[in-house]
Each structure stands twice: as C-alpha cells, then as structure tokens.
Amino acid sequence: MKTPLVFSTSPRGDETARHIAQLLGVPVHLCGAGRGDAAPLVNSAYAARTPIVGVCAAGVLIRLLGELGDRASEPAVVAVSADGKMAVPLLGSHRGANALARWIADGFKGTAGITSSSDTLYDFSLEDPPPGYVVANPDAVRPLMAALLKGEKLKVEGLSGWLELAGYPVSAAGSQLLRLTENPAPGPGLLVHPKTIVIGIGATSKATTDEVVSLVRSSLAQACIANHAVAALATIESHAKTAAIVEAAEAFGVPLRVFTRREIDRERKRLATPSETVDAATGLAGVCEAAALKAGTLLLAKQVAGNVTCALGKADTPIDVGRFGRAVG
C-alpha cells in the first residue's frame, strides 16, 4: 500500500488524525477554516491512487473528492468520525479500504461501517484474500462473487477449509470454479496462488544478482511455479549480506530469511544431492536444499548455474514468513 494521506478538517478531529497518522508512520495534515485547504491534498492523493483517510464527515470527504475516475483503479478512501469510533470505507473497499477501516475501528474500539455485500456475508472478499493467498486473474473475481450472491456454490480445486471457515458455500457440485494451485497455467475459473514455496539459495562470493535471478526464474519455470506462489528466499545466515542474494529477493518482491549453520546442518539426512566436496571444505553437505527444506518438502532438487545453487521447497499451507527463519538486518 502506498503511504496514505491522513488529514482532519476541524480541531475536534485533530487528536484522532494525529493518532492514526502516528500508527501508520505518516504525516498528519490539519485542515479547515483558518488552516490548510484539504481539497488540493485530496485531489492530488486521489490522482496518484494514494489511500486517503479523512477525519471528517463522510459527506465532506465525498465533496472533497469531486469527480471520480475509473472504479477499477480508485484508491482506498475512508472517512473517520472525530472520536475515531466510526470508520466508513467510501471507495476501494476491496483495495484496502475495508481492511483499513477495520484496523482504525479496532484501534479506537469502534465500528467499521462495512457495506459491501461480499464482506457482510463472508469474512473476506476474494478481491482481497487473507495473507498468504494471491489472486492471479482478478478480472474473474466479480463475476464469481456475483454468482455466489445469487445463490451459486463454489467448487474448489485444492484445500477449501480457509474458504469454508470464512462462510463461502463450497460444494463438489458447485458451478463456480476456484483453482488453488501454485501452477501459473491459465484455465477456467478463478486462479488463486497459495504462497507455499521457499527458494533456497547458495552462492559463492563471486555470484552476481543476474545469476541468482536467472537461476531462480529457470527453476520456477521447470517446476511450473508462479512467482506469486513464492513466500520467501532462504539461505544460511553467513549469506545474509550477500548483495546478489539480497537484491534477488528484492527483484522478486519477497523477503529474505536466514537460518543458522546448525539449523542448515539439521537437514543433512534429507538432502537429495549432498556434496562431499562442499562438506569437506565447509562442514556442510549443502545449503540451498537445506534452506528449501525448511518449508517442509523438497519440490525441486539443487540446480547449479555458475556461482549459484537453487532448490525449491514446498509447505502444505501458506507460510507465515514472520515465523520462518529470521529476517535480515
């Protein structure tokens, strides 16, 4: 999410606006009579598709927005009461507004005025799935949701418990197909990728970013894995500052997680391609497969290209990256 615009239009809402801005780590803009003009701020933020949080009446924020653009690209816009007890998503409900309104309401022990039908029927909309899931073809969401609202049922290829717990009508005979898979192959229905894949990386000091990125891409293609199914890159902690690995993680938009030497060595007996040469030189039979195995099972054994090795591991369910290895830095 882009850095939100947070503002108030009267002194009564200043304290609430300051608190929201502080929690979000963004500046606060105090507007209204005798103070700054909110209109240019709101117009600029809307044009840049930046989330907007206005501590003011919903009608005031609507008038500040003026003429609206394409619905498909509108940002999250939330109006918050002066005491913070009511947060109402006005635009972009499934592009973060509903989640932002709930977060604000929870912080003030208030209420989020959610009005979108899918969010009142189910715990979440498929336009905004929970962490660990990514919709690959978002254009397919609205037709599917419309069918469900008319009484149709969901047929799920893959694990469906997370959908059933959210209230979705799942049936083996359902007419609306949802495919839950790491495979990027196009097909019918809504395609959702669970983030279950870990890319284990090993490298020498001569490795370049291009080498790592190229090998990762070829490994994912070989295993038929979508980029969006990747939860993290993983390696040994001694590589935590290796520029090629750090930059490769940034290139794929995933976190880099590291494991200690002892944690890597614990996977020794599960390695598919242990290296006697590396073991004799370093005391470790392999790094990339061991790091990948931290996900659960080895999906693709060690691949080698130049100064880099790569392996893919897979978990049964989406990986909570915050509890997987350790962050760098």
Q: What is the CATH number of the domain that holds 322?
A: 3.30.420.180
Q: Would residue 126 count as lying in a domain?
A: no
Please indicate whether residue 278 or residue 174 has the higher confidence score (pLDDT): 174
Q: What angle do CA 163, 167, 104 make, to 5 degrees?
A: 90
Q: Would residue 124 count as lying in a domain?
A: no
pLDDT digit string, tens, across residues 58-103: 999 999 998 887 766 788 899 999 999 999 999 987 677 887 888 8
Residues 293 and 277 in one domain: yes
Q: Would residue 320 count as lying in a domain?
A: yes
Residues 298 and 213 in one domain: yes
Domain count across the chain: 3
Q: Single out the residue of 83, 79, 77, 76 nearest to residue 109, CA to CA.
A: 83
pLDDT of residue 129 exceeding 80, the answer is yes
Whole-number Å distance between alpha carbons of 285 and 283: 7
Residues 265 and 318 in one domain: yes
pLDDT of residue 1 exceeding 60, the answer is no
Which of 62, 84, 115 terminates a domain? The answer is: 115
Q: Would residue 46 count as lying in a domain?
A: yes
Residues 40 and 161 in one domain: no
Which of 115, 141, 175 terminates a domain? The answer is: 115
Q: Would residue 125 count as lying in a domain?
A: no
Q: Would residue 120 count as lying in a domain?
A: no
Residues 24 and 88 in one domain: yes
CB 134 within 8 A of CB 195: yes
Please indicate whether residue 74 or residue 260 has the higher confidence score (pLDDT): 260
pLDDT for the residue numbered 7: 96
Residues 161 and 201 in one domain: no
Stretch 48-59: mean pLDDT: 93
pLDDT for the residue numbered 227: 97
pLDDT for the residue numbered 119: 58
Which residue shows structure tokens 């890319």? 199
Residues 151 and 273 in one domain: no
Residues 169 and 185 in one domain: yes
Q: Would residue 123 count as lying in a domain?
A: no
pLDDT of residue 148 exceeding 70, the answer is yes
pLDDT of residue 120 exceeding 70, the answer is no
Q: Any idea of the CA torsion for 101, 105, 106, 110, to the nearest 10 degrees? A: -150
Which of 115, 148, 177 terminates a domain? The answer is: 115
Residues 186 and 204 in one domain: no
pLDDT digit string, tens, across residues 286-313: 999 999 999 999 999 999 999 999 999 9
Residues 210 and 281 in one domain: yes
CB 108 within 8 A of CB 83: yes
Query: Residue 77 is part of which domain span?
Result: 5-115
CB 190 within 8 A of CB 178: yes
Residues 139 and 174 in one domain: yes
Tell me what percent of the residues of the chain surpass a pLDDT of 70. Answer: 96
* DSSP H or E stretch at residue 18: helix 14-24
Q: What angle do CA 135, 138, 139 make, to 5 degrees?
A: 155
Q: Would residue 243 count as lying in a domain?
A: yes
Residues 208 and 308 in one domain: yes
